[in-house]
Each structure stands twice: as C-alpha cells, then as structure tokens.
Amino acid sequence: MSNSDLDQKAKSILIENDQGGYTVPTKGLYPYQWNWDSVFVALGFATFDQDRAWREIEMLFEGQWRDGMVPHILFRKDDPSYFPGPSVWGTNGGPIPSSGHSQPPVAATVIRELVDTDVTGLAHDRALYRAGALFPKLMQWHRWFLAYRDPDDLGVIAVIHPWESGRDNLPDWDEALRAVEIADIGPYERKDTSHVDPSMRPQKADYDRYLSIMAACRAVDWDPAEVARTCPFFVADPGVTFIFLRANRDLLSLAERLGRDAEAEEIRGWIAKMEAGAKTLWHEGLKAHVAFDERSGKLTDGISSASFLALYAGIRDETTMASLQAHFDRIASKVRYLMPSYDPDHASYEPLRYWRGPVWAMINYMIARGFAEAGDTTRAERLRADTADLIETGGFAEYFSPETGAAAGGGTFSWTSAIWLSWASPTHAEHAA
Ligand code: DGY
C-alpha cells in the first residue's frame, strides 16, 4: 500500500470506529469510549476535521465524575462482547455509567495542540473558546489526581489499578499485584481472549487480581479518599507521573492564554512539586525512572518505555538525558523496532504479550516528542521511522513485536491510525518539514 493509501485507510478506520461523536479503540475487543484512546484519536481527526476532534474530547468530559475524575471507560451502552462491564464496576460517581478509576491524563496536552494548530483568525478564536469551556474541567481533573493519587504529597502520581496506568500487564506491577489477595471475585468469563490470541493478553492470575482490586474499591463505594487509603494496590507510575507533569505544563500555557491568573499560579505550584517529586522514581542502579510501590516502599527493577517519557515531561538534566540516550542505543542494538514497552534485557520481557515487550505507536510519539524537544532529533526521527515501518508492514494493529515487527493484539485500531495521520505518516512528516 502506498503512503497515501495508508492515509486513506487510517481515516476510514477512524470513521468506521466513530460511534457518533466518540470513537471506540477497535470493534469487538474494546466496544466503548476509552479515555486516553479518545484523546489520541482527536489528534487523528484534527488532521481532517477539527470540529470532530474537539467533539471527541468534549464527549469524554461529559462522563466526568462529581469529584473531578474522568473515568477510563464510559459505558454509553451495554455491550456483551466486553468484560468487565458496568455491573461489575458498580460505580455511581458521574452522569454516564463508567469504570471506577482514571487513565493517563493526556487531554490538556492534546487540547493545547488543537489550539496551536488552529493558528489563524476565527478558527483560532473558536479553538480557544472550546479550550476555555474545557479548562475548568481539566483543572478539576488535575486537582483530583493530586488529592487522591498523591495523598502524601510526594509529587508523584500513583495508580490504584494496573488499568489506570493504561499499561495493564507491565512487569512493573507484578510484585505489587502478587501482594493483592484474591477475594470476592466469584466465577467469571473473560471476553478479551475470544477476540485476541491469549498468548498476547494478560494471564488469568493477573485478571483474578484486577477483579479483586475492583471488588475492594466497590466495597468502599469508590470513595476516592477511602480508595487512596485502603486500596491493596497503590503504585507510583512513571508513565502517569510524566504524562501528568507534561499535561500541567500545557495546562499552564492554556491558563496563561485564557487569562486565568489564579489557576496559572496554582499550576506553577504543581509543576514545581512534581519536578522535585520525580526524583523519588529515580533508580540509581539502573540510571532511569521506575515505578515505586507506595505500599511496600520498594522501587521496581526494570526500565519501561515510560522511563523515556522523562524528556516529554520536561526533565532534561544532563544525567537523565545521557542515561536515556545510552539506554536507547543499548535497546536499539537488541531489537529491530523501537521502543519495546519493557527492557529486552529484563527477565520479564515478552515481545508479543501486550505491555511486556510490544511497541505501541502512541508511546513512540510521546517519547519522540520528548527527544525532539530536548534537541535530539536523530533519536526522535528513528522512532518515527520505526513506527512508520511497523504500520506499513503490519497495518493499524494495536501493538507490534519489537523483534519481527509482527502485528499483534486487536486490528483496525483507532489510536494507531490517529498517530499515523498526525505524526508517523511520511506524508505528514513532509508536510511538517
Ligand atoms: C482491557 O480490558 O484490557 C483494558 O485494557 C482495560 O482498560
């Protein structure tokens, strides 16, 4: 397929997966609106329909909870092809049935991007107007993260469930998950393994614990303060932490443009706290940021693709920069395609199992942005070229083997299509040059 055929195909996937203002990640496997999927999807729509891009994010925020949380899944209708559905979550925090926790907060960054791309005249004013309407909701959501995912003011953001990180079966969660007692789950039937090869999905032992954590949170009615206090899983995640730190910088830029001085001052405080807090995640032996289990007080022992997001978060001191460049080159000498979701030198690495090794297009996009902004355009371009190669050969898959490039997980995936259109496609790259 030529690049312009791929551009067309990517657009048609977004249009096919569109449910009337919001987009499913892929039909069958993920039949609802997912939080960070939707936000990345907006980047793809923005390349051909700005209004539709805004609508995607506005519809996501329609599901915001009274306490400020924006859920990771909005169940706008019941769909028996997915488990666990709304009745298993048992939440009641917002206007639309939903899951009970959040997902990486990429929205402020993408909203800033949408405002920045509409650079002239009326279109820019309209974009700023729509950003202004979303701004208080973003503030509420970010305050919620700080209150309930960093209750001890460490300057790092914890996740209460591996699904909240968006990187479900990452080896970083293994030890903390093992400590979760399997309780109150009853018999259940997974649906994901009927859509996708089970060897590419989390194991049953993981699912037992995913459901046990949900049961523990249901038992406290998903009250966010109680969840933070009692949830058996509470792990500070470099992925969410760096994405949140970056999102705060973009939220600050929006606040300044919207003339929200008091909020701008508040956000500056968050950024300072998080820049200092990120040091908590630094593993001196590995020379990288890793996860920190707040229940056991232990750092994890592996480098994940999120370790590279330090640059995207604006942490670009010499030590971080030099170590990440060295890790990048070491990993590049081990696998054909960057960036594997987990270090191929780690014993838990598995090239085809979801978040234990495969390459994900939107993670590559964020890592590349960080390298480019830090002045390392060579490594940024390597990530773009690898992403383009993977999609050219494997199509718009959910994820890819870093070793063979084989397409894996679900097919006709919305965010892979969106990242192609907005960044990886050579057509786009020529346009941007
Ligand atoms: C799933 O069902 O696998 C999802 O990743 C949960 O968000």
Which residues on adjacent β-strands are paired with residue 30? 26
Digitized pLDDT (tens) for each residue of the chain, 433 residues in all: 888 899 999 999 999 999 999 999 999 999 999 999 999 999 999 999 999 999 999 999 999 999 999 999 999 988 999 999 999 999 999 999 999 999 999 999 999 999 998 777 778 889 999 999 999 999 999 999 999 999 999 999 999 999 999 999 999 999 999 999 999 999 999 999 999 999 999 999 999 999 999 999 999 999 999 999 999 999 999 999 999 999 999 999 999 999 999 999 999 999 999 999 999 999 999 999 999 999 999 999 999 999 999 999 999 999 999 999 999 999 999 999 999 999 999 999 999 999 999 999 999 999 999 999 999 999 999 999 999 999 999 999 999 999 999 999 999 999 999 999 999 999 876 666 5
Query: Which atom of ligand 1 is least distant from the CA of 202?
Result: 3
Question: Separation of 170 CA from ligand 1 center, angstroms?
Answer: 13
Question: Separation of 428 CA from ligand 1 center, angstroms?
Answer: 30
Half-sphere exposure of 347 (CA within 13 A, CB side): 2
SS3 23: strand
Query: Which atom of ligand 1 is least distant from the CA of 83?
Result: 2
Residues 110 and 115: their CA atoms lie apart, in Å, by: 9
Question: Separation of 308 CA from ligand 1 center, angstroms?
Answer: 23
The CATH number assigned to the domain holding 277 equals 1.50.10.10
Q: Is the CB of 192 under 6 A from ligand 1?
A: yes
Residues 183 and 212: their CA atoms lie apart, in Å, by: 5
Burial class (CB in 10 A: 0-12, 13-18, 19+), 320: buried
Check the CA dihedral 394-333-341-144 and report its sign.
negative
Question: Separation of 163 CA from ligand 1 center, angstroms?
Answer: 6
pLDDT recorded at residue 432: 60
Q: How many structural domains is the chain composed of?
A: 1
Q: Is the CB of 168 under 6 A from ligand 1?
A: yes
Q: Is the CB of 163 under 6 A from ligand 1?
A: yes
Q: Is the CB of 37 under 6 A from ligand 1?
A: no
Residue type, position 282, single letter: W
* DSSP H or E stretch at residue 416: helix 414-419
User: Closest Cα to atom 4, ligand 1: which residue?
Assistant: 163
Question: Separation of 413 CA from ligand 1 center, angstroms?
Answer: 14
pLDDT recorded at residue 2: 86
Residue type, position 388, single letter: A
CA distances from 414 to 197, 210, 314 (A): 19, 25, 28
User: Closest Cα to atom 6, ligand 1: which residue?
Assistant: 163
Query: Which atom of ligand 1 is least distant from the CA of 82?
Result: 2
User: Closest Cα to atom 7, ligand 1: which residue?
Assistant: 163
The pair of structure tokens assigned to 415 is 């965010």
Half-sphere exposure of 2 (CA within 13 A, CB side): 3
Query: Which atom of ligand 1 is least distant from the CA of 34?
Result: 7
Catalytic residues: 168, 398
Which residues on adjacent β-strands are paired with residue 293? 235, 298
The pair of structure tokens assigned to 88 is 């298993």
Q: Which domain holds residue 136?
A: 3-432
Query: Tens digits of per-residue pLDDT, 180-209?
Result: 999 999 999 999 999 999 999 999 999 999
All residues at 6 or more sequence positions from 179 whose CB lies less than 8 Å from its CB, including other chains: 232, 295, 296
